[in-house]
Amino acid sequence: MARGKLRIYLGAAPGVGKTYAMLSEAHRRVERGTDCVAAFVEHHGRSRTEVMLHGLEAVPRREVAYRGALFPEMDVDAVLARRPAVALVDELAHTNVPGSRNAKRWQDVEELLQAGIDVVSTVNIQHLESLGDVVETITGVRQRETVPDEVVRRADQIELVDMSPQALRRRMAHGNVYAPDKVDAALSNYFRPGNLTALRELALLWVADRVDEYLQEYRGRHGIRATWQARERIVVGLTGGPEGRTLIRRAARLAEKGAGGEVLAVYVARSDGLTAASPKELAVQRTLVEDLGGTFHHVIGDDTASGLLEFARGVNATQIVLGSSRRRPWQYAFGPGVGVTVARESGPDLDVHIVTHEEAAKGRRRGLPPARSAALLGRTRVIAGWVVGIVCPALLAILLTHVDADPGLANEMLLFLALTVAAALLGGLWPALASAAFGSLLLNYFFAPPVHRLTVSDPKNIVAIAVFFGVAVSVASVVDLAARRTHQAARLRAESEILSFLAGGVLRGETTLDALLERVRETFAMESVALLERGGDRGAWKPAGSVGPHPAARPEDADVDIPIGDRMALALSGRVLPAEDRRVLGAFAAQAAVVVDRQRLLGEAEGARRLAEGNRIRTALLAAVSHDLRTPLAGIKASVSSLRSDDVEWSEEDRAELLEGIEQGADRLDHLVGNLLDMSRLQTGTVTPLIREIDLDEVVPMALGGVPEDSVVLDVPETLPMVAVDPGLLERAVANVVENAVKYSPAHEPVVVAASHLGDRVEVRVVDRGPGVPEEAKDRIFEPFQRHGDAPRGTGVGLGLAVARGFAEAMGGTLAAEDTPGGGLTMVLTLRAAPRGRAPSPDRIPERDRSRAPVRIRERDPAGAPDPAEVCDPAEARDPADASVAPDSIDPIDPIDPTDPIRPVRQKAGPS
């Protein structure tokens, strides 16, 4: 089945007439006999648009329920079942109501196209996804409904529905777009003349670019190479020289004279990658052309003129701007030059502009000076080259003059030529040239008749010596060029490895600033490297990072400085670098700036995360105060008001019940406030545990005072080693964990609190048989203000487990959740065991009184077997108040100020 065709009416703003144009097209197709239906067309109460719907078949819409209301949406199944030839679908960027077949209407349209149905649709320019930020900048309104640009670009036909801003505003003023009560607000906000003009320009340019794409596709499909001057495109040929800036500015002025002019700067590099162009100057020219609204292109080709012309014809350029040649007059003997070649071969369709500049006819430096060659080859090799080129020819001349046999002038020339080649291999061009000249003199003086005179009698010998000199110079030049090219290739390979390392660091995000600066110092053999940052426009420099001794405090104090923007600089101390090293150094500098920006952004993101977390904590705290704290207060208030009422005579049982409600509300308030204060101190890091050695069974039973009778089974062997904990914090942590387990455990299944010894750790496991917690929620239940599942409000503020974990970590322990075999949840509290061989002082160990804990205690015989038969009944306790010790009591194990809100000893624990 052939895919349907998509036609889109594109407008700059609502009200320009997209839907009207779409309906007009539908009527024209219906008159031609085409089966056309309105799948979804919205007239927005506009009478003229509504009239255009008459005579068109409309597919019934589907009602989608959402949040208690019904919303009409396009019925894709009904359209597919109707299967018309053409379907009208308005508002392509519309977001469907949740519960619809697809999330976006353009996805519905895609289904219709796949089914072979042609679709005519509408969309505004502000709904294109790539222009969302631009439209928001212009209008101040962020468009939430967008359509991907590619969806619109794939349309078989795009028609622009255009209208001037003045005409659109008049249409709105007449009430043809919005209701009268909305006209004034729309005209003074979104539909201001400036906004409409900018949106209109965006629509025109977007459609023009799309038309240009169609044109390029057509030219490529039909193999058209001739220039079609449909749009002014100016190509600027750059060489990397300083004249490039003048050429770019001249081309920009030419482009401004024509409507829609475009500037394309192009640099043609050699295919071997060995170029003499300045990377720094090319980077400056790239920035300049982009600032002027043009684009920069890098083309590979050995023939500059051919590469430039191929590029110009490929982009359908109309003009080429070149600079006057920098070659000296005598250099034209080697060829006409790039400018003349391009002008000759451009043809009638391309205009070539030759622009004069200050560097014209000043010459182009070719080759390398002796100092530069010495730097490439090394001092030792250059000295050896001069020795081979000067000393060895003299020794060879002496040797040949003292040999009886005459090898002949040709063989003598070959020997001297071998020395010239050796001098070129060792010392480069200049020792080889000196060797060729000196060898020619020696051949003339010692071996060409008449000997011992600088004259040559035989013309053949003159030609032979001249040929020798020419061959020697040519061979020396070729050898020197090959040596320099080899050095450049090795250098470029090293640079590529360094840049690859930098690119990998950027992608992985692994490079720290200190590591990067250390890499710079090692790569360029520097003593110190510093990244400096200016505080303001004229503020003092301050180091953002540095490595090595005595880093530079200011860029001017360094041996090498690379500016990075306006407020940063990379300063290197140790030696002066050659110019070609600045390219890689510039890459390092840019990467250093990226690292600093990344660190700053990470810091800002962390700060934002903390602010968001603080806001979330504060919001949850307000919710807790507004509900969980007010609920017990309301209960206490109601009970007190009832007791003070003179209208009712309360019985003793009723009075006791009201007093019990007051006590329970007060206990609950006390627990909630304690947890809130604990959480606040944990958040601010002000919890300072007092670690001491203590038996675990001295603390754990005392933490169970707030749980119902027979709800906990305690299994803490007396043979366990002592633990290094803060008794007050441990008691609070265990109390919160146990009460949380009791709250979720079935009534007939007691919670088991068992302790065991593993190496240097002691584990306290709180086991319940409740519903358990999914694996993905095990960490989330320890977050503040989290209640797992559907726990109703009023069961606590969700701080018990968060406080327990915070206290455990403050003591150097951990608190984690595991699944209970057979169902349920097990909380594992891991604590540090005290060093062996140490026991607490006898005067610090109070007499154990397990009757104070209203739990069943599993005793162990000497062999370690538990005896669950022995149960301590809380009713037999000496004092009923011992079941939950008053907050103002002081435990001799934990002599702390009882007024400390974070650690009230023996405080009754409430719901967590």
Please give the full DSSP string across 339-398, using - where no structure is assigned. HHHHHHHS-TT-EEEEE--TTTTS----S--HHHHHHHH-HHHHHHHHIIIIIHHHHHHH
pLDDT for position 717: 87
pLDDT tens-digit series, residues 367-408: 444 444 555 566 787 888 888 888 888 888 888 888 777 777
Q: What does the pLDDT average to over 252-275?
A: 72
**In this structure, what are the phi and psi dihedrals at residue 81, rounded to the nearest 5 degrees?**
-70, -40
pLDDT tens-digit series, residues 424-451: 878 777 888 888 888 888 877 787 777 7
Sign of CA dihedral 76, 79, 85, 87: negative
pLDDT tens-digit series, residues 536-547: 656 678 888 888
Provide the percentage of residues in the chain whose pLDDT is more than 90: 11
In 3D space, the residue among 7, 21, 9, 23 whose CA is nearest the CA of residue 157 turns out to be: 7
pLDDT tens-digit series, residues 572-594: 888 777 666 666 777 777 778 87
pLDDT for position 584: 73
Task: Report the alpha-carbon distance of residue 353 to residue 330 in Å, rounded.
Answer: 24
Least confident of 366-375, 628-637, 758-767: 366-375
Q: 359 or 686: whose pLDDT is higher? A: 359
Least confident of 74-83, 550-559, 669-678: 669-678
- By DSSP bridging, strand 859-860 and strand 866-867 are antiparallel
Examine the pLDDT at 798 and tell me if it is beyond 70.
no
Question: Which residues are bridge partners to 712 per DSSP?
Answer: 751
How much is the pTM? 0.38
Q: 673 or 2: whose pLDDT is higher? A: 2
Task: Report the alpha-carbon distance of residue 93 to residue 88 in Å, rounded.
Answer: 14
Q: Outline where 648-763 has alpha helix (H).
A: 652-684, 727-744
pLDDT for position 626: 54
Residue pair 132/144 in contact (Cβ under 8 Å)? The answer is: no
Name the average pLDDT for the chain: 76
Angle between helices 193-221 and 132-139 (to 10 degrees): 160
Q: 836 or 714: whose pLDDT is higher? A: 714
pLDDT for position 88: 94
Examine the pLDDT at 458 and tell me if it is beyond 80.
no
**pLDDT confidence bin for 849, thresholds 50/70/90:** very low
DSSP letter for 760, please: T
Q: 28 or 676: whose pLDDT is higher? A: 28
**pLDDT confidence bin for 119, thresholds 50/70/90:** very high
pLDDT for position 906: 33
Examine the pLDDT at 495 and tell me if it is beyond 60.
yes
Examine the pLDDT at 6 and tell me if it is beyond 60.
yes
DSSP letter for 95, please: B
pLDDT tens-digit series, residues 510-541: 557 787 788 788 777 888 888 888 766 566 78
Examine the pLDDT at 601 and tell me if it is beyond 90.
no
Q: 511 or 353: whose pLDDT is higher? A: 353
pLDDT for position 86: 93
Task: Report the alpha-carbon distance of residue 894 to residue 703 in Å, rounded.
Answer: 14
Specify the long-range contacts of residues 577-585, CB closer than 8 Å, at least 24 apart. Answer: 577/524, 578/375, 579/278, 580/491, 581/524, 582/279, 582/280, 583/279, 583/280, 583/495, 584/495, 584/498, 584/499, 584/523, 585/520, 585/524, 585/560
In 3D space, the residue among 280, 275, 269, 344 whose CA is nearest the CA of residue 311 turns out to be: 269
Q: Outline where 577-714 has alpha helix (H).
A: 581-623, 630-644, 652-684
Contacts of 692 (CB under 8 A, 6+ apart): 724, 725, 726, 727, 893
pLDDT tens-digit series, residues 336-345: 778 888 888 8
pLDDT for position 866: 41
Examine the pLDDT at 118 and tell me if it is beyond 90.
yes
Q: Specify which of 69-73, 216-220, 675-679 reaches the highest per-range mean pLDDT.
A: 69-73
Q: 620 or 196: whose pLDDT is higher? A: 196
pLDDT tens-digit series, residues 131-142: 887 888 888 887
Provide the percentage of residues in the chain whose pLDDT is more than 70: 74
Q: What does the pLDDT average to over 230-234?
A: 74
Task: Report the alpha-carbon distance of residue 515 to residue 503 in Å, rounded.
Answer: 15
Examine the pLDDT at 264 and tell me if it is beyond 80.
yes
Q: What does the pLDDT average to over 833-861?
A: 48
Q: 71 or 790: whose pLDDT is higher? A: 71
Q: 283 or 536: whose pLDDT is higher? A: 283
Q: 456 or 175: whose pLDDT is higher? A: 175
Residue pair 200/11 in contact (Cβ under 8 Å)? The answer is: no
